[in-house]
Amino acid sequence: MSQYTPMIQQYLRVKADYEDAFLFFRLGDFYEMFFQDALRASQILEITLTSRDGGSSDRIPMCGVPYHSAKGYIERLIAAGHKVAICEQREDPKQAKGVIKREVVQVITPGTMMEGAGIQEKENHYLACIERTGQELSIAVADVTTGECKTALFTSVDAAVHELAAYGVKEVVTNGQWSEAEIKPIQARLGAVISVEEMSDAAPFRSLLSALTEDLTIQATARLYHYLHRTQKRSLDHLQAAEPYEIRDYMNIDYFSKRNLELTETIRSKGKKGSLLWLLDETKTAMGGRLLKQWIDRPLLNEQDINRRLGIVEKLLASYFEREELREQLKEVYDLERLAGRVAFGNVNARDLVQLKKSLGQIPLLAGGLKQMNEAELTKLADSLDPCTELFDQLDQALIEDPPIGVKEGGMIRDGFHAQLDEYRDAARNGKQWIAELEKQERDKTGIKSLKIGYNRIFGYYIEVTKANLALLEEGRYERKQTLANCERFVTPELKEKETLILEANDQMMELEYGLFSQLREQVKAFIPRLQRLARMVSEIDVLQCFAAVSEARRFVRPSFSANGIMHIEGGRHPVVEKVMDAQGFVPNDCQMEEGRNVLLITGPNMSGKSTYMRQTALIAILAQIGCYVPADKAVLPVFDQIFTRIGAADDLVSGQSTFMVEMLEAKHAIVSATDRSLILFDEIGRGTSTYDGMALAQAMIEYIHTQIGAKTLFSTHYHELTVLDETLPHMQNVHVTAAEQEGKVVFLHKVKDGAADKSYGIHVAQLAGLPDSVIKRADEILQSFESKELKTAPVQADVISEGQLSFFEEKPAVKPAKKDQSSILSKLLNYDIMEMTPMEAMNTLYALQKEAKK
C-alpha cells in the first residue's frame, strides 16, 4: 500500500470490502474506477480507458463516468449481471484536511434495483435467499421495490429451484457454504447472480418475522433482510412482514408446464405477447398487472374462494356502465406499492407525492362506484378501501399541482403554507422587481438602450454595457467587475446592496423549502403500511374488473365445478390462438371425460390441432381456478391440484441433456408427482427415440397412469398401434382430430371426434411445408412400397419387441450358443437382400436368425 498515493490507498481499502462489485469512487464531478475495475468497465461500457500516476512506478488504469449521467452506466452494468458500489465524498473538499473522507453509501445489485430500465412497471423484481438443512430447504423472496416478502419450504433442490424460476429471480443469496458443483447448475438454471450473506440473526427483524413458525424459513428470511440492509445502507421502512405459504395450497404448475403452456411468456420469443398473461392483461394499474401475474402463477384450490372471485366477475359483467367508470378511475391511480418503497428509500420527489395525492383522491370515487352495484362482496371491497384522508389533506395543502422534478430547486410548496417561506419569497420577488426597475432607470440615465442587468452564479448581479457605449457611463459611479470580448460588466453600490438581500432571501428560501419537503416526506412514511394495504385492495379490484372486461370481449362463460371428477367442456377454445387468428375463425371443440373416463388417446396428423386442443384444456382449467370466466360455451370442471405437461421438444444445452432426456425427465416428474386430482398433458411421448422404444414407453406410461394414478390425461400420439389399448383399458377412450383429402391434398378440419385416426398424412404436411416436388414424389413411392410389403409381413408381438431390443451395455448371453449349424445360419444371412427389406422385415429376419442361433 505504501507505494501508492494516499487517495489510491483509500480506494484500495474501500475496494477490499467490495471485491465482487465495481467501485464507483467519487472524485469531484466524476465516478472513477481503477485497476481491474477500470479495465473491465471500459470494455462493458465502451468508454475510454486512461491511466494516472498513483505513486507507483507503473501508471494505474483508470476510467470514469460523469456524476450527473452515472445512472445509465450503472443500469448497463447491472443488466450485464454485475454489482456497483457507490462510494461518495462525505465532507466538503474545502474543509477537508488531507484526503477527503469517502464511504460506500449503497451497493446496487441485480436483485436490489429500485428504479431504471430494468424495472418493468407490471412485473415484480425479486431477490431470493435459499437455505438448506439436511434434506429440507427454504426459499425467501422479496421485491425491494414493493416491500413484499414470501417464504416457503421444500424437500428437494429441484423443487426449490423450480419455484425460484417461476418467480424470475434476478439474484440469489446463500450462506456461502454451497459447493461450486451445487451452485453452478442453480446459477445456470436461473440465470441469476449468486451472492453471499453471512448474517442470519433473526433478532433485529422480529416484527417482520412474526408470522413465521419454521426455523428454516425464519433463517432464510432473516438472511435476506440482513443482505438488503447491508447493501442498501438506508431506511427500509416499506419492507412488509414475511408471508409464509404452502405450495399445496395452490394449484401446482411446475416450471416446465408454465413454459409449455406459455402462461406468462412465449417459448419462442420469451416475450409477453402471445402468452395467456398478454391476453388477460386489461388491468389499468401497475399494481393490478403484477397481481394478475401472481394469480396466473398460483391458481386457487379452494372452491369457495374461486366462486367468490367468479361471483364478483359476474356482477361486474352485469354492470357495464359502472364498470367502465371504474376503469376510468383506476387509470388515475398511481403505483402505490412502489411509491411507498421510494418514500422509505428517500428518493421520492414532489411530483411523486402529487401523484400520490391524485391517487388518494380517486379512492372515494372507487368505493362509491363499487357500492352502487349492490353486491355483498363488492361492498366489502369498497369498505376496505382506506382513502388516507389526513394524508390527502396534508399533500393538498403543501404542494403545488405541477412541481419541478428536483427537490432542491424550490418551487414545490404552495404560497400560504408556511409564513416564513412566504416572507422569503416576497423579498425575492420584490428584489427582482427592484432589479427590473433599476435597469430601466440606468437606461434612462445613461441613454444606453442596450444596457441590461444580468446574473450568474459566479459574479452575481451585474450591469452589462457594450464597448461602443462605455463613454456614456458616469465616471466614478460604476465599478468594473468583468471584461468580455464585446462588452464590460459593472456593479454600483445600490446593486451590491440589493444583491445581498436578494441572494440571502433566495438561499434561505431554497433551504427552508427543502426542509419543509423533507418533513412532509417523513410524515408520508408513517402512512406506508396503510398505503400498502390500500394498494392490495385496489390491485384486487383492478384484476377482477380485468377478468370481466376480457370475458365480455372474448365471449367467455362462467365455469362450474364437479365433485366427482367429471370434465365436460362444450365448444372449448384456445383463448390466445383464437385472438391471434381473429377473423380467420377458430374451430371450437368439446372435451368430455365422464366419471370413469380418465385417459383420452388423441391421434391425427401433424398440424391438425392436437397440441392446441390439449393446451386449451389446461388453460380453461387454469382460468377457472384463478377466478376468471373461460373460453367455452359451457364448462364443468374438477378442481385440479396439479397440471403437468410434456409438450414440444428442445435440448437442454446448459445441462447437456438431449431432447429425449428432457422429455423423459419431464414425464418422470409428472408420473411420480401426479394424483387422481391432477391433469396430465403428454404430446407424442417417445418420438425422440427409435420406433419400438418410443411405442413401448408410451404404452407403459398410458397403462401406469390409467391403472396406478387415475389422473385426467390427454395423450396424443402418432403410434396408431396404441389405439387398440382401449380394448384392455376400460377408462381410456380414443379420439382423433379430423382431416380430409381433396384432389390429393390434405385439408385440416381441426375437429375432435371419437375413435382413432386412420391415416397420418405426414407426406401431405411435408408438401404443405414446401419440400421440393421430387422429394414428395419419392417419399410417396417409398411409402407405397413399405405399405405393400408390410401387408405380407406378420405383425410383431410386444414380447418379440422386448426380446429383440438392443442393449446399451454389454451383456453375457443367457444361453451359451452352440457351435454346430452355424454354417446354415451364415448361409441364410448371406442370401438375404438387405437393401430390399423394409425396417419391419429386417427386424423380423434378425429376430428369427438370433432365435435359431440360440438353439
Task: List all residues 6 or more positions away from 348 whose beta carbon is below 8 Å from its beta carbon.
Answer: 339, 342, 521, 524
Which three cell numbers mark 771? Answer: 419440400
Q: Which three cell numbers stand for residue 408?
A: 432542491
State yes or no: 604 annotated in a binding site: yes
User: For the residues of 297-352, what is the DSSP string, one character each?
Assistant: HS-B--HHHHHHHHHHHHHHHH-HHHHHHHHHHHHT---HHHHHHHHHHT---HHH
Rounded Cα distance, 4 and 15, in Å: 14
DSSP 526-573: TTHHHHHHHHHHHHHHHHHHHHHHHHHHHT-B--EE-SS--EEEEEE-
Which set of grid coordinates corresponds to residue 680?
Answer: 396430465
Residues 373, 844: Cα–Cα separation, whole Å: 74
DSSP code of 9?
Answer: H
Does 824 appear as a known binding residue? no
Reference 577, options 567, 568, 569, 589; nearest CA is: 589
Rounded distance, CA 345 to CA 365, Å?
A: 30
Q: Which three cell numbers stand for residue 380?
A: 366489502
**All cell numbers assigned to 745:** 391434398
Query: Which amino acid is located at 572 in the chain?
Result: G
Q: Is 655 annotated as a binding residue?
A: no
Annotated binding residue at 2?
Answer: no
Q: Which uninterrupted H or E stretch holds 845?
A: helix 839-854
606 appears as a binding residue in the annotation: yes
Of the candidates 493, 345, 514, 483, the residue with the CA atom closest to the CA atom of residue 421: 514
**How many CB atoms sit inside 10 A of residue 542's CB?**
24
| Dist. CA 743–CA 353, nearest whole Å | 70
Q: What nine digits make up the cell of 142?
A: 422479496
Is 496 known to sit in a ligand binding site? Answer: no
Do the annotations mark residue 607 as ligand-binding? yes
For residue 627, what are the contacts with CB-CB under 8 A and spacing of at least 6? 295, 300, 305, 306, 308, 309, 310, 312, 313, 544, 547
> What are the phi and psi torsion angles at 460 (to 5°)?
75, -145
Rounded Cα distance between 808 and 54, Å, is: 64
Known binding residue 611? Answer is yes
Tell me the three state secondary structure of residue 842.
helix
Q: Which grid coordinates are listed for 216?
A: 428454516
Q: Is 347 left (phi over 0), alpha (psi -120 to 50) or beta?
A: alpha
Who contacts 715 (Cβ-Cβ below 8 Å, separation ≥6)? 599, 600, 601, 602, 680, 682, 685, 698, 701, 702, 705
Contact 334, 356 (CB under 8 A): yes
User: Radius of gyration (Cα) for the chain, nearest Å?
Assistant: 37
Angle subtended by helix axes 303-318 and 376-384, to nearest 10: 90
Half-sphere exposure of 509 (CA within 13 A, CB side): 22
**CA distance linking residue 18 with residue 26, whole number of Å:** 15
Q: How far is the C-alpha of 807 from the C-alpha of 366, rounded, in Å?
A: 69
- Binding annotation for ATP: 604-611
- Binding annotation: 604-611
